[in-house]
Amino acid sequence: MNLSQKTILITGATSGIGLALTEQLQANNQVIAIGRSEYKLEQLHKQYPSIKCMVLDLSRHDAIANKQQALKSFGPIDIIINNAAIQNTAHFTEQLSDNSANQTSIKLKKISEEIQTNLTSVCQLTACLLTQLISAASHQQPGAVVNINSGLALAPKKQSAVYCATKAAMNHFTLSLRYQLEHHPVKVMQAYLPLVDTAMTFGRGSNKLTCEQAANAIIKGIEDDVLDNAIGKVKWLKRLLRLTPNFAFNMMKNA
């Protein structure tokens, strides 16, 4: 796929991997940056005036439904990169002694926001924009849905059970959508990332990829038509899962 003169919509575009993707792709493409911080989007637009921006809080269940017309106003879209993700809930067993109604409500709200951002919004946004995507695509110039996933979709860790579950669900959503679009000129791709140095992973792990390295690998995978792009250490994880699955799951348990 030639990543030039495309209209590319990127969620979570104001920080981390999303920002690195936005900065690298804006030079030769029309980028539509989606984020929840109006201030960050304004700063992004000041730096790159060609970028179109939209404030959209994907953790809200009604956000995409309320912005349908605004999203459709962008016209034909060649590529959607579903990148936005959050990680709220570490341990379900934390603070078991505090079972107050207020504390429980906070936990339930965090779980809902995590699932909404990481999975439901991906399904909703793809459904909302699919007609625009198909209308812009041809067999000579195919479109793409690119879901930014994690190695945790393949083998979960002890912490962040909800996050791991959303990534595993995204894996199946990607595969199923790929089946549904196999007779359309739209590719459905995903990139399985290892630990990347972002605000989400601050203070955890070592030997992380930089956001720029992750973005480079994602872009190269799109250009090379890699449908399931295992990046960095995830390549080794996939091999271990084939050869010694028990060892791989135990290794990832406390990752």
> Which amino acid is present at 74?
F
Q: Which residues of 153-182 are buried (b: 16+ CB within 10 A; e: fewer)?
A: bbbbbebbebbbbbbbbbbebbeebbeebe
The residue from 39, 48, 163, 179 that is catalytic is 163
**163 part of the active site:** yes
Q: Which of 128, 83, 109, 91 is nearest to 218 (CA)?
A: 83
CA–CA distances in Å: residue 255 to residues 36, 96, 158, 220: 30, 23, 8, 27
Backbone angles phi, psi at 68, to 5 degrees: -55, -50
- For residue 34, the cross-strand partners are 11, 54
Token couple for 240: 């271990």
What residue ranges in the chain does DSSP mark as E strands? 7-11, 30-35, 52-55, 79-82, 143-150, 186-193, 228-230
Which active-site residues does the annotation give? 163
